[in-house]
Amino acid sequence: MVASMNQAPISQGSRVQLWHEVVREAEDRSGRALGEERESYLVFVLQRHLQDAYLLARTQALEWLAAQEQIGSARADALRDVGDRCLLIAGLFPGLAARRRVSVDYYIDLGSGAYDEVARSTRASYADLFAQLARGYRELVVVLRAVRTGTAG
88 lies in some domain? yes
User: What's the CA gap between 88 and 145, in Å, rounded?
Assistant: 9
pLDDT tens sequence across 35-72: 999 999 999 999 998 888 888 888 999 999 999 999 99
62 lies in some domain? yes
Query: What is the average pLDDT score of the chain?
Result: 88
What angle is formed at CA 29 by the lines to CA 24 and CA 30, rounded to 5 degrees? 95
pLDDT at 153 over 80: no
Q: What is the mean pLDDT of residues 90-107?
A: 93
Q: Residue 124 — pLDDT band, cuts 50, 70, 90?
A: confident
Q: State which residues form the domain around 93.
A: 15-149
4 lies in some domain? no
2 lies in some domain? no
Q: What domain count does the chain have?
A: 1
Count CB-CB contacts under 10 A for residue 107.
27
What angle is formed at CA 62 by the lines to CA 108 and CA 94, rounded to 5 degrees? 35
